[in-house]
Amino acid sequence: MAKEKLFLIFVLVFGLGLRLINLNQSFWLDETSQAHLSSLSLFQIWSGRGGDFHPPLFYFLAHFWMQFSRSETWLRLLPVSFGAANIYVVYIFARKHFSQGLLTSFLFAIAPFHIYYSQEFRSYSLLCLLGTLAMYFLLSKKFSSLALTNLLLLYTHYSSVFLLLSQVVYLVIYERKSLSKYTIQNLLFILLYLPWLPQFLSQLKAGTSIDVYLPGWRDVLSISPLKALPVLIFKLVAGRITILSRPLYGIYIAFVFGVVFAALYLAKSLHKRFLFVWIFVPVFTMMAVSLFLPQTQPFRLIYVLPALVFLFSSAISRYPKMFLTFFFYIFIFGSLLYFTRPRLQREQWRQAITFLQSQNLPVLVKFADKFAPFYWYSPSLAITPVISSYPAKPDQVANILSQITSPQVLLLQYLTDLTDPDRQVDINLQGLGYQNTRTYNFEGVGFIEKYQRP
Cα separation of 449 and 439, whole Å? 4
218 has a pLDDT exceeding 70: no
Cα separation of 79 and 82, whole Å? 5
**Averaged over 94-123, what is the pLDDT?**
95
Where is average pLDDT lowest: 72-86, 235-249, 267-281, 291-305? 291-305
Instruction: Please report, to the nearest 10 degrees, the dihedral formed by the alpha carbons of residues 6, 11, 13, 16 taken in order.
Output: -160
333 has a pLDDT exceeding 60: yes
pLDDT of residue 213: 56
Domains of the chain (ranges, CATH numbers)? 2-344 (no CATH), 349-452 (3.40.190)
pLDDT of residue 140: 96
208 has a pLDDT exceeding 80: no
Contacts of 364 (CB under 8 A, 6+ apart): 383, 384, 386, 404, 409, 410, 411, 412, 425
**How far is residue 276 from each of residues 34, 155, 166, 167, 439, measured CA to CA in Å?**
33, 25, 10, 11, 50
Confidence of residue 106 (pLDDT cuts 50, 70, 90): very high
**How far is residue 389 from each of residues 364, 386, 454, measured CA to CA in Å?**
15, 9, 30
Confidence of residue 387 (pLDDT cuts 50, 70, 90): very high
pLDDT of residue 215: 62
Query: What pLDDT, in 10s, does the model give residues 23-81?
Result: 999 999 999 999 999 999 999 999 987 778 899 999 999 999 999 999 999 999 999 99
**Averaged over 220-243, what is the pLDDT?**
83
Where is average pLDDT lowest: 196-210, 241-255, 356-370? 196-210
pLDDT of residue 296: 76
Strands 363-365 and 383-385: parallel
343 has a pLDDT exceeding 90: yes
Helix axes 143-154, 124-140, angle to 10 degrees: 160
Confidence of residue 314 (pLDDT cuts 50, 70, 90): very high
pLDDT of residue 52: 83
Q: 18 exposed, middle or buried (CB, 10 Å; 0-12, 13-18, 19+)?
A: buried
Confidence of residue 427 (pLDDT cuts 50, 70, 90): very high
pLDDT of residue 207: 64
Residue 68, φ and ψ in degrees, nearest 5: -95, -35
How would you write 9-25 as a 3-class SS string? HHHHHHHHHHHHCCCCC
Contacts of 102 (CB under 8 A, 6+ apart): 4, 7, 8, 11, 91
pLDDT of residue 225: 67
Q: 404 exposed, middle or buried (CB, 10 Å; 0-12, 13-18, 19+)?
A: middle
Neighbours of 421 (CB within 10 A): 13
Mean pLDDT across the chain? 92
212 has a pLDDT exceeding 60: no
pLDDT of residue 411: 96
pTM for the structure as a whole = 0.94
pLDDT of residue 205: 78
